[in-house]
Structure 1
Amino acid sequence: MFFELTGYSVADACNAAGFLGVATYICNYTLLSLRFLSSESTLYFCINTVAATLVMLSLTQDFNMAAALIQGFWILLGIVAISLRLHRHVRGRMDARLGQVHRVHVHPAE
């Protein structure tokens, strides 16, 4: 119903998503190249995963197996990379808190 009211079709929306995905890839790579982002940062993988998802969405209207496979790979790799970084972050915070607790309770040798 939304698309009927606006005069746009689902295909138009999917094409727009694809173009937005391409622009997102280009911006992410530019930020990486200019060293505003690190390839180790969680943000880099989040942006890349969003870009791949947008391009994959566009493939629902004009399917291409090769493009779908590479976008699927980027989405999967992005999810794994984000998960690993979030796990390390949470584990680091827990280790830091445990270290503080141990320091408080440790008595210096007399």
Structure 2
Amino acid sequence: MITYFPDALGADLLRLLGVLGFLLYVLLYTSLSLRWLHSDSILYFCGNICAASMVLMSLTLDFNLAAALIQMFWIAMGIPAILLRLGRMRSDRRADRLSAATRWAATGRHTPAE
């Protein structure tokens, strides 16, 4: 087996990275279950991408194809999910500005209403 980190310290760091990725998964799922975090939030998907990346990096030490495919799936689905939510936030802000401008114009005031 080819290892990129032949020394024990490198192997320990990779294992630690995998455990931290697991803990991040658990923290995200707990936060979701307790409604501290919404499944539609960008933070949730960023956390999943980070956790998957950490676990995937740890798999370079002891490779497992099924585990690697799962982590790649999380990353591949997380990126477009973040992009979609960023696009939605941008269009929502644009719609809010348009709505505020329309309300302001309808009042006939010279200063925006509060």
TM-score (ref. length: structure 1): 0.82
The alpha carbon displacement at 1:77 in A equals: 0.8
Matches within 5 A, 1:17-96: 17-96=17-96
Pair 1:14-2:14 in alignment: yes
Q: How many Å separate the matches in 1 of 2:11 and 2:81?
A: 31
Bigger drift between 99-108 and 49-58 goes to: 99-108
Q: How many Å separate the matches in 2 of 1:17 and 1:24?
A: 10
The alpha carbon displacement at 1:89 in A equals: 0.5
Q: How many Å separate the matches in 2 of 1:99 and 1:88?
A: 16
Aligned-partner SS, 2:104: helix
Stretches of structure 1 that go unaligned for 5 or more consecutive residues are none
The alpha carbon displacement at 1:79 in A equals: 0.9
Query: Which residue of structure 1 aligns with residue 112 of structure 2?
Result: none
Q: How many Å separate the matches in 1 of 2:37 and 2:28?
A: 8
Q: How many Å separate the matches in 1 of 2:87 and 2:94?
A: 11
Q: How many Å separate the matches in 2 of 1:95 and 1:40?
A: 20
CA RMSD of aligned residues (A): 2.0
Stretches of structure 2 that go unaligned for 5 or more consecutive residues are 109-114
Q: How many Å separate the matches in 1 of 2:33 and 2:107?
A: 50
Query: Which residue of structure 1 aligns with residue 111 of structure 2?
Result: none
The alpha carbon displacement at 1:106 in A equals: 4.7
Q: Percent identity?
A: 50
Aligned-partner SS, 1:9: helix
The alpha carbon displacement at 1:8 in A equals: 5.4
- Which consecutive aligned stretches of 4+ in structure 1 deviate over 4 angstroms post-superposition? none
Q: How many Å separate the matches in 1 of 2:50 and 2:90?
A: 23
Deviations 1:50-109 (A, max 9, x none): 11111011011111111110100001111111111111001111121123233334577x
